[in-house]
Structure 1
Amino acid sequence: MKAACTTPVGLEALEARLAQDLAWLELPAKSWVPPRDVDGQHVRDVVIIGAGMAGLVTSGVLKRLGVDNQVLLDRAPAGLEGPWVTYARMRTLRSPKQLTGPAMGLPALTFRAYYEARFGRESWEALDRAPRTLWMEYLVWYRKVLSLPVENEVEVRTIHSRPDGLLELRVIRDTDERTVLARHVVLATGRDGLGGPYVPPIAYTIDRRYWAHTADAIDFEAIRGKRVAVIGAGATSMDNAALALESGCARLDLFIRRTDIPRVNKFTGIGSQGVVHGFAGLPDEWKWRFLDHALRAQTPPPRPSTLRVSQHANAHFHLGSPLLKLEQDDKHLVVTTPKGRYEIDFIIFGTGFQVDLTSRPELAEFAPHIRLWRDRFPAPADMPNSELETSPDLGETFEFLEKTPGACPALRQIHCFNFPATLSHGKLSGDIPAISEGADRLARGIVRSLFVADREQHFAALKAFDTPELLGDEWRDADAKIGTPHAAA
């Protein structure tokens, strides 16, 4: 019996079970949104920009709710969506392996089900955390088994609001440029979805070939035998430092502004369904208080990632060492901190991301109208926080709101389902733990909007429906005279 429980059943069997579960639940729901064509061009009900984890689960929930007329557009080749096999450099995910993530409440769609189907129960029990590349394989399977409509290697250049209330996307694939019409657009564009990587201004005082951000494509082979500096002590800093060491750098200096590395993950400590579903209902000042406290404490790098660095004798941790000066000569760089001067050949900045709407060409038409938190909520004097101040102020369905009411009504059709949504909705749109709950909130809001917008057509369908359930021969009127027709007739 034990062997039968632990033997991998294979993905074919898992897929059959998932199909049965969906059939028993009558999912996906029937398609119900009236089709629309404008000037001979088909109109998509929803276009999702980004086919990483957030985009896939959004598409899955929309399909589950009967919104079939959708498409996901991703500029990456198939299998390279998101960070998992591009600039993510950890060995395993940081989240606990048992989190259900994008499974939408379906047991057969969880990572655990996928893993056990391939490798068996005993292997699952022995697993610490999900290997990063295997997580990407799971997402590829997720997309396939749900038949999600992804178009790869498609870049969205611009989004334009039309007088008829539609959104027009100009997209390009190779050299083929075309337009896509949509009623709603979802930005499932990750941590840099409303801006890009942040580096301190001092980085631009040296030649670009001497530095990179952790989100860049870095040639680690090229730094073999070199002296490398990493700025920051977050998880990505540790992962990049570790890979530089494993690639054979001569020396690794990790410069950390704080006098100690953060040790406590605050939000993990209070994780619950109360936080997931209750955060959006907090008064503004309490949302700010929660996130300001968590951001100031910072998230510690995972213990395995830190040990992955410290096990190398040529790794040097410099605490209380903010970057004061950066100089370049013909042969190397010189980094100056309060602790000293260090000769360096290459620097990797693990300094995170920033919201910068002006850097997103696809949002150029809308950026001046998008309301940020700083536009309506004065930061408490004892809690100034530039990261929170530049967060978008979002509505109940993750939609952008206007700085000036009436100035750009199309904003309500653009939904910000990426990391900067955190201050408005909590951690529902960027991390694994509650991504299904976030996608459900988003999709249900879009469904409500589509139905309300099409109410005249739905009402006309209601009036026109005339398929009888009773035929008139099911009863006889006791008071009718013999030979007279039924009263119902």
Structure 2
Amino acid sequence: MTQTTNPDQGALDTLRLIGPDPDNWVADRPDIDHNVLIVGGGQSGAAFAFALRRAGIGKVSVIDGAPDESRAGVWLTRARMTRLRTPKVLPGPEAGLPALSFQAWYEARHGAEAYAKIERIPREQWAAYLAWYRHFLSIPIRYGVTLTRIEPADGHFRLHLSIHDGTRMWHVVETTRKIILANGVAGNGKPFIPDVLAALPSAQLSHTSHDIDFAALRGKSVAVVGGAASAFDAAATALEAGAADVHLFVRRASIPSVPVTRSRAYPGAYDNYSALPDAVRWKQALRFRRSGSTPPPDAIGRVTRHDNFHLHPGAQWQHARVADQRVEVVAAGHPFAFDHVIAGTGYAIDLHARAELTDIADHVLLWRDRYEPAPHERDDALGAHPYLGEALEYLEKTPGAAPWLKHIHIYNPAAFVSFGLPVGDVPSMKRDIPAIVRRISRDLFIDDLDAHEARIDADVAPEFDESHYAHRVWRADTVEH
């Protein structure tokens, strides 16, 4: 293995070569605490903080409700895959600087040959890389801070924050001009629980978004509902924790196996997706919904190697109730009984489900407000997605009623219908983070145009005087005839 004395030397050289961060150029406003508040301190929040710093935008704050770094994000908490779903070659949070990439970080520690052997990035290695990224770039994140309300004010937002330091909780109000919601899969909604499961008590029901105590499932009979990757990951984790048996129920007659989004995974479609006509974007989103989210082959293999794993395709749950501390189920006409049920049923986009969006949800333009599909293409779940602008910003449902919405940028899966990717994941970083940062920069500059016009019109001291060239000035009276 080839390794330098300091594995960070390449990254240090890169920061030296690109030069120091620009000074904060944003005009100061005495009543504003933050120019930008980033909600979410995971991979996206850290990447935005670095990109904004390199754009010369100061007074940026990143908050995360997790009590500390070890609980922030998903990679060491709710993510249960062994390897990332995305190809290892996709650009991540490095902002176009190769020395800050996962590949550079990994090769500096394990060598290029070891990296070449990786098919996809191991989840825990990705988490370690992100921790290095935050610390190496000195990205400050305020943990234990939850945004509970966004209150539009005169030219800014009042942010109602709940702060918990591990021993006590208190509430504060801060102000910001811009907001980035980099707050994960439920950032514009909530975990989806099917009606048939909704009445089950929490002692017998978990969602894959929850912190599940898998050790407590040892020796238990477990049901998992859902056919996407998170359902298979939860089933595998339960099996590996010693569950007596795990039954996975899928609505569809077979497991979705066609990753339809790959058909548009080329630069032309990727870079210009938001410019597609609404009818095309709707059709693509509908195609994905109807094809289903595909679990990767290794996630399937991870469960099928267990003899006590049982798959039930085409098995819609019709009834579920608790009796004698067990969940009695009727699925596809057959009775079952389980000790615990895990819902791997995804998420619902519903702005009203988020307490922090209470004051603004009714003003946000949704796809159902903007686009009327043909009857055979109707889909209420897709219609609930916000219809976003070019920089992933909210737009007004009623023009002129809420002009401040354009200052809230959505970097989470609610952007899917508008931008065609699982926004907030690695595939969206290269395209969408620069787009949002450019718009924030432009808006902050134009909103303070008077101050900037005065600045760019200011007198500039000369760098030299005539003495630097006077002795070489040609004069007619010195010409010899």
- Which band: TM-score by shorter chain? over 0.9
Paired amino acid for 2:129: Y
Cα 1:332–1:43 change in 2 (3 A) is closer
Percent identical: 35
Partners in 2 of 1:374 and 1:248 — Cα distance? 45
**What's the counterpart of residue 485 of structure 1?**
none
Corresponding residue number in structure 1 for 2:22: 29
Answering whether residue 189 of structure 2 is matched by residue 198 of structure 1, we say: no
Structure 1 residue runs without a partner (length 5+): 1-5, 483-489
Match for residue 306 of structure 2?
312
Native 8 Å contact 1:70 1:149 kept in 2: no
Q: Greater shift after overlay, 306-315 or 23-32?
A: 23-32
- What code does the residue aligned with 2:133 have? Y
Distance 1:281 1:27, change over 3 A: farther
1:479: how far off? 7.1
Partner amino acid, structure 1, of 2:431: E
Q: Residue 459 of structure 1 aligns to a residue in which SS? A: helix
| Alignment partners' CA distance in 2, 1:376 and 1:201 | 29
Instruction: Give the alignment partner of residue 223 of structure 2, picking from 226, 229, 233.
Output: 229
Matched residue of 1:429: which SS?
coil
Question: Does residue 18 of structure 1 match 2:11?
Answer: yes
Residue 268 (structure 2) pairs with residue 274 (structure 1): yes
Is 1:68 paired with 2:63? no
- Secondary structure (helix, strand or coil) at the match of 2:236 reads helix
Change (3 A) 1:338 1:314: same
Note the C-alpha offset of 1:380.
Answer: 2.5
Partners of 1:135 and 1:472 in 2: how far apart? 59
Aligned counterpart for 2:109 among listed residues 105, 114, 118: 118
Q: Is 2:1 the counterpart of 1:9?
A: no
Work out whether 1:80 is the aligned partner of 2:74.
no
Query: Comparing 422-431 with 470-479, which one deviates more in the overlay?
Result: 470-479
State yes or no: 1:173 paired with 2:159.
Answer: no
The aligned amino acid for 2:195 is P
1:50 correspondence with 2:40: yes
TM-score w.r.t. length of structure 2:
0.94
1:75-95 CA distances to partner (integer Å, 9 max, x unpaired)?
Answer: 111132211111111111111
Measured on the aligned residues, the alpha-carbon RMSD in Å equals: 1.9
Partner Cα separation in structure 1 for residue 187 and residue 349 of structure 2: 8
**Cα shift at 1:351:** 0.4
Residue 3 of structure 2 aligns to a residue whose secondary structure is coil
Does the 8 Å CA contact 1:54/1:188 hold for their aligned counterparts?
yes
Deviation at 1:346, TM superposition (A): 1.0
Stretches of structure 2 that go unaligned for 5 or more consecutive residues are none
Q: Identify the range of structure 1 (145-154 vs 106-115) with the bigger mean alpha-carbon deviation.
A: 145-154
Task: State how far apart, in whole Å, the 2-side matches of 1:149 and 1:207 are.
Answer: 39
**Shift in Å at residue 473 of structure 1?**
3.0
Give how far 1:68 is off. 2.3
Q: How far is the alpha carbon of 1:268 from its aligned partner?
A: 2.5
Question: Aligned partners of 2:418 and 2:109: how far apart in 1?
Answer: 39
Distance in 2, matches of 1:462 and 1:139, equals 39
Q: Is the 8 A contact 1:428 1:435 kept in 2?
A: no
Which residue is equivalent to 2:278?
284
Cα deviation per residue 1:115-144 (whole Å; 9 max; x = unaligned)? 111222222122232121221111111111
Residue 486 of structure 1 aligns with which residue? none
**After superposition, where does 1:334-483 map in structure 2 within 5 Å?**
334-427=328-421, 429-476=423-470
Cα deviation, 1:147-183, whole Å, max 9, x if unaligned, reads 22311111112111112x1111121222232222111
What displacement does 1:244 show?
0.9
C-alpha separation between the residues in 2 aligned to 1:214 and 1:320?
A: 21
* Cα displacement (A) at 1:27: 5.3
Partner of 2:208: 214
In the alignment, residue 240 of structure 2 is paired with which amino acid?
E
What pairs with 1:291-330 in structure 2 (closer than 5 Å)?
Answer: 291-330=285-324
Distance in structure 1 (CA, Å) of the matches to 2:33 and 2:112: 46
Cα 1:180–1:115 change in 2 (3 A) is same
Bigger drift between 450-459 and 168-177 goes to: 168-177
Cα deviation for residue 428 of structure 1 reads 6.6
* TM-score normalised by structure 1 residue count: 0.92
Cα distance in 1, alignment partners of residues 42 and 325 from structure 2 = 41
| Corresponding pairs, count | 471
Give yes or no for contact 1:191–1:418 (8 Å, CA) kept in 2: yes
Structure 1 pair 13–243 and aligned structure 2 pair: CA distance change class (3 A):
closer
Whole-Å Cα distance in 1 between the matches of residues 110 and 413 of structure 2?
33
Letter in 2 for 1:244: A
User: How far is the alpha carbon of 1:8 from its aligned partner?
Assistant: 2.8
Which piece of structure 1 moves more, 337-346 or 251-260?
Answer: 337-346
Q: CA deviation at 1:192?
A: 0.4
Question: In the TM superposition, what is the alpha-carbon distance from 1:449 to its structure 2 partner?
Answer: 0.5
Q: Which amino acid aligns with 1:296?
A: R
User: Contact between 1:57 and 1:102, CA under 8 Å: does it hold in 2?
Assistant: yes
Tell me by how many angstroms 1:454 deviates.
Answer: 1.1
